[in-house]
Structure formats: C-alpha cells, structure tokens
Amino acid sequence: EKKRSVSFVEQFIEEDLAEGKNGGRLQTRFPPEPNGYLHIGHAKAICMDFGAAEKYNGVCNLRFDDTNPTKENNEYVENILHDISWLGFKWNKIFYASDYFQKLWDFAIWMIRNGHAYVDEQTSEQIAEQKGTPTTPGIASPYRDRPVEESLRLFEFMNTAEAVEGSMVLRAKMDMANPNMHFRDPVIYRIIHTPHHRTGTQWHCYPMYDFAHGQSDYFEGVTHSICTLEFVPHRPLYDKLVDLLKEYDGSAAKGLNDFRPRQIEFNRLNLTYTVMSKRKLHQLIEEGLVTGWDDPRMPTLCGMRRRGYSPESIRNFIKSIGYTKFDALNDIELLEAAVREDLNKKATRVSAVLNPVKLVITNYPEGQSEEMIAENNPEQENSGTHQITFSRTLWIERDDFMEDAPKKFFRMTPGKEVRLKNAYIVMCTGCTKDADGNITEIQAEYDPESKSGMAGANRKVKGTLHWVSTDHCVQAEIREYDRLFYVENPAADGRDFHELLNPDSLRIKNNCYVEQYAAGCKPGEYLQFIRLGYFMCDVDSDDNRLVFNKTVGLRDTWAK
C-alpha cells in the first residue's frame, strides 16, 4: 500500500469533514491582494488552497483582497489570474473584497449602534503610543465613550470627499487590557481618497484587513480559511468578528450557529538568496536593479516562467518542502533540483556553443554537408528526432580543447580521438595561433566509417563533444543568471539590501551559436543545450535577434 502523506492542515480538514461540520462541505479561497505579481511563496498557498479543494471534492474560489486602493490595480488582477492558470489550477468563482464594501459598511454601522465601535480623532502616533505592551494594559482613547450618535455622524463624514486622510479612524471597542494586542481597540476603517480600481470614487473610507477578511470568508461560505503563521495572533479577533457578524445577521439567534469559517495557519515559504516581500520586490523594480516583475532573477512566477522553470517543477518543489507550523528558510537548491528533474523529462536536446572556437575537419570535402540525426529526448520515448547539419567547419567550445593536455583530459587534444555527438569520430591534428598565442583554429581528421550506426562507430572513445556547423547555425545572445543576493538570508541581514546584491547576477554572452533547429524554438519550449544545461528562448527574441535564458545547469555547480 502506498504511504499516505497528509499535512497537518489536511488532517484538520479531514477531522472536520468526518465530524460533518458545515454540512460536510469544504470551501477554501486564495486571497491575493492585487498589489503586485505572485511569487513562489504565493504558489505554496495556492497549492494548499486549490490542492485541498481538489483532494476533498470541495471548491476553491479566488478572492482579491482589494481593500487598499493606493497600491492595487487591474494589471495585477490580470496577471494573478494568468499565473494561477499557468501553475495548473482552476478557481470556481472570482470574488473581490470590494464586492462587500456596502455589507461591511452596514455591519460597521451596526457595530457603532451597539456600542462595538467608535470614531477616534487622534493621530495614528497617539493611538500607537496608547497601545501599551503585551504585559502592560493600554490607555483608553479620550473618544472611546463618545455618544453613539456622534460616532455615526463622524463615520458618515469619514466617507466624504471633505474628510482629511488620517484625521480620524473607526475603531472596534474591544479590550484595551487584553494580552492579545489585536484586541486593543483595533482600527477597522480609515479614510483614503485614492480612487479604487473597481469602485472608483464611490468610497472614501475603507475597511482594514481584519475587518474584511473573516467577514468575506463568512459571506462566501468559506469553511477553511488557510493562511500563513503571522495570522495566528489575529485568529481570536477573526473569530470574535464572525461572532458579532452572526449576532448582526440574526443567524446566531435563529440557532444557525453551526457555520463558521475556520482559520488554519501554516509556515511561509522563504527561499535562500532572495527576498519575497512585495515591498522589496517593488523596490528592486523601481530602482532598476532588475528589469521588471518578470526578470528571470525574480522569485515571481512570471520571472520563473520566463527563465524556463516549469509549473510542475514548482509544484513538486512545494510538495517536497511540505507544510509545518514552524518558519524556515528553504534551500533554493531544492527548487533547482526539482526543475532539473522535471526538465530532464521535458526538454528537447539541442546543440549550442557558448564560447566558440573553430574546428576544421581537414579531410572532409569543402562545400559538402550532410544531415545527421539527433535524438530529441533520450528520457522520453517517442519524442522523435530532428536533423543537425554537419560540414567541414564547425564551432566547438574553447574549453573542449587543450594543446598540452593532462592524461585525464578526455576532450580534444592533438593525437587523440573524440566523438562528435551524432556524427563522426575525429582525430585532432593540431591548432593555429595568432601572434599573441591565442588559438584561432583547431584541425582534425574524421573517420568516414565512424558515423553513428556504422561499424566503425563502436570503438571505444572516451570523450563526446557537441558542435554546430559554422554555416548552419544562428548567432544568439545567452543570458546566464546567478543568485540575486550573495547572502543566504537577505531579509534577516542587518545591512541595507543594496549592499547584499550580487553584482554578477546577470552575465550576457553575445557570441554564441545555436543549431538551426533551436533557432526555431519559441518562448515556452523547454530546451537542453547538450552538456551545458537547460535553456529557454526569451521574449526579447525577434527576427533579428535570438536570446536564450539559462534556466539552470545540468548539475549543481554553484558555490564550488
């Protein structure tokens, strides 16, 4: 029997389903704030929210948590939709927290009427000073016990164009001595005049996260509200506000107390050598330290897609790190291993020479060429073949030749044989140098009886080199990426993050050659450059320029 691996989150879900809670229904949601692009941390939440719904025959909706118009827009909404689909998940419905602005407003009015909320005219600094500490009680606002009618009038005023941002807020009247700081009269509404991407200038007053999230879950019928650990201390407030909402809508009184969404928290995904906070990602872009959200060095899903990571490899990586109750730093090499493992099965093998030197096959007729057969993917049955043209002059890697080679050098050196991949066995005969001693050309002779498939091909030759024919290849630009930061955990480093940037995170090679077949590949097709690594054609390519991104090397060579 196959071992069943169930995360603690899924265990909670299974228990609730077994007990028949919420009518045995499972409904989750993924709640991105449309204030940036999704990153691999979001993918962890997506895999849980959508994955659990799939596994237990539930539904997962998408809800845009759009309660702060100053940072949100439709471009982000569109790209979030695209990235979720790319990862391979389907939402049931799309909701917006902004759909509930009226409902939340009405509930807030009820809160004021029933002594659960008041308008505070202090500054945010004053309010913060009065919060107290977890071990000492806070100080009540002088506005805490103002008449209900006054709060109602001011709350209406807060939602007008005349209200000054920051001049007043609505606070829930809870418990200024509660050891849980979130209960010390949390701010639940603030004035914002920036137009909202969906509701325009209809509202001037917006609910805070804590006053929108649990209520939105409740309105939609979410049964399990799965989020990350930093929301653990918010959970009692989440539950309390759902209690009040049930009192408000009468469901509690009618005995309909069985339904309530349950918040469950798991650990965030943090990756070594990068940052995940949207604020910092925005900063990298704004300061031109990367080219945009989809820069292949970014931890964003669009960046990883452009770099050549497959959605399956990201999902496999997330499965491998699992869900726990303890924050950790995840090793980026685990992600890269997952990428290699998946691309090994997917990538078409092609030839490319990144650091070229000319090889002349002196006994091969000038002006002649022939088509060789290249396997598309030996790891994939029925993946077929393509043709690669062989001729008298080829490009090979400069590193694959040594004039005075040690015994263990199994590549090209005078007097020794090597195999040219998919073609012939050749014997190196010498090389030509310029006045400075730089090698400008290498010469070899081929054995016409050693072509793959012929009897002469079977003799033992240690090295196999890749090559492209100089007259049958296309020049390309290759972009090689390294870690964006040179320290493991830039978020935890005391220094300014500019000091931690790896100055060598992008290396561009302009004088590379790829075989004709590779030149016809489009962004989105997974390629392996034989012996070099995985690559993907970049969106910057056009009719006059071919650009490839290095996705990841064939094996882990970093930090050596």
Which residues are known catalytic residues? Answer: 33, 268, 278
Number of Cβ within a 10 Å radius of residue 78: 11
Task: Return the one option of Mg ion, ligand ATP, none that residue 58 interacts with (CB less than 5 to 8 A, by type).
Answer: none
| Residue (270 or 443) nearer to ligand ATP, CB | 270
CB 37 → ligand ATP: shortest distance, Å? 10
Distance CA 171, CA 169 (A): 6
Q: Where are the beta strands (DSSP E) in 157-259?
A: 169-172, 187-191, 205-207, 224-228
Contact 40, 301 (CB under 8 A): yes
Q: Which residue is nearest to ligand ATP (CB)?
A: 41
CB 121 → ligand ATP: shortest distance, Å? 29
Which residue in 324, 340, 323, 342 sits closest to 332, CA to CA? 340
Among 7, 12, 14, 33, binds Mg ion (CB under 5 A): 33
Task: Return the one option of ligand ATP, Mg ion, none that residue 477 interacts with (CB less than 5 to 8 A, by type).
Answer: none
Task: Return the one option of Mg ion, ligand ATP, none that residue 52 interacts with (CB less than 5 to 8 A, by type).
Answer: none
Q: How many CA atoms lie within 13 A of 214 on its CB side?
A: 24
Residues that contact Mg ion, how many (by CB under 5 A):
1
| Residue (32 or 308) nearer to ligand ATP, CB | 32
Query: Distance of alpha carbon 46 from its chain centroid, rounded?
Result: 11
Contact 468, 514 (CB under 8 A): yes
Which residue in 536, 72, 546, 467 sits closest to 305, CA to CA? 536
Angle at 182 between CA 36 and CA 237, to 5 degrees: 90
| Residue (278 or 419) nearer to ligand ATP, CB | 278
CB 559 → Mg ion: shortest distance, Å? 32
Cα dihedral sign, 15-20-23-25: positive
CB 477 → ligand ATP: shortest distance, Å? 33
Concatenated DSSP letters for 449-469?
T-STTSGGGGS--S-EE--EE
CB 76 → Mg ion: shortest distance, Å? 12
Distance CA 55, CA 48 (A): 10
Distance CA 27, CA 23 (A): 11
Q: Which residue is nearest to Mg ion (CB)?
A: 33
| Residue (485 or 529) nearer to ligand ATP, CB | 485
Distance CA 139, CA 26 (A): 42
Which residue in 385, 359, 361, 387 sits closest to 372, CA to CA? 387
| Residue (211 or 481) nearer to Mg ion, CB | 211
Residue listed under structure tokens 């491998």:
320
CB 45 → ligand ATP: shortest distance, Å? 4
**Residue 248: which H helix or E strand, with range?**
helix 235-249
Which residue in 211, 232, 230, 134 sits closest to 169, CA to CA? 211
| Residue (31 or 311) nearer to ligand ATP, CB | 31
Contact residues for 77 (Cβ-Cβ < 8 A; gap 6+)? 34, 64, 197
Token pair recorded at residue 147 = 């008449």
Beta bridge partners of 418: 426
Burial bucket for residue 480 (CB in 10 Å: 0-12, 13-18, 19+): middle
Distance CA 18, CA 25 (A): 10
Task: Return the one option of Mg ion, ligand ATP, none that residue 227 interacts with (CB less than 5 to 8 A, by type).
Answer: ligand ATP
Burial pattern 430-457, b for ≥16 Cβ within 10 A else e, equals ebeeeeeeeeeebbbbbbeebbbeeeeb
CB 208 → ligand ATP: shortest distance, Å? 13
Stretch binding Mg ion (CB under 5 A), from 9-17, 29-37, 47-55, 365-373:
29-37
| Residue (64 or 548) nearer to Mg ion, CB | 64
Token pair recorded at residue 400 = 């694959």
CB 277 → ligand ATP: shortest distance, Å? 4
Residues 195-254 that bind Mg ion (CB under 5 A): none
| Residue (104 or 276) nearer to ligand ATP, CB | 276
**Residue 347: which H helix or E strand, with range?**
none
Which residue in 158, 189, 234 sits closest to 68, CA to CA? 189
| Residue (213 or 240) nearer to ligand ATP, CB | 213
Residue listed under structure tokens 């004053």:
126
Task: Return the one option of ligand ATP, Mg ion, none that residue 268 interacts with (CB less than 5 to 8 A, by type).
Answer: ligand ATP
- Residues binding ligand ATP (CB under 6 A): 31-33, 41-42, 44-45, 65, 227-228, 268-269, 276-278
Task: Return the one option of ligand ATP, Mg ion, none that residue 41 interacts with (CB less than 5 to 8 A, by type).
Answer: ligand ATP
| Residue (14 or 33) nearer to Mg ion, CB | 33
CB 1 → ligand ATP: shortest distance, Å? 31
- Interacting residues toward Mg ion by CB under 5 A: 33
